[in-house]
Amino acid sequence: MAAMRASPGVRHLVVAVAVSIAIAGCIDEVPPDASGEQAYAQVCARCHGADLGGGIGPALGAGSRAAARPDSYYQVAITRGIGRMPSFRSTLDEEQVARVIEYIRARQASSQ
């Protein structure tokens, strides 16, 4: 009997779901008044690195491909998810997302 193999699309979906579940279980509620740095440290640093150098997720620091993206790209990626990155719509509100983006941009500018 031939072994069944999952298509690449199904494998990617399974990995994305597993990562989402793992991340969701590790994130405490972000205080409404958290700074962008605090929210980034709590929600983003696990995958993108405390220094924005990347890890599970891509680098976000100065000189990275992500640094050339517009703020709207970050907003969509954070709120809707993109690729393997899950949505953080239920974790961060619009103001928190804006503060995270401001923090990333400030770090990118200070590293140039």
Q: HSE of 42 in the Cβ direction (CA atoms, 13 Å)? A: 18
Write the CB contacts of 70 (distance below 8 Å, at least 6 apart in sequence).
none
pLDDT tens digits, 27-83 = 578 999 999 999 999 999 999 999 999 999 999 999 999 999 999 999 999 999 999
For the chain, what percent of residues have pLDDT higher than 70? 77
Going from N- to C-terminal start, the domains of the chain cover: 30-110
* CATH classification code of 30-110: 1.10.760.10
Report the C-alpha dihedral over residues 60, 65, 105, 46, rounded to 10 degrees: -10
Total residue length of the chain = 112
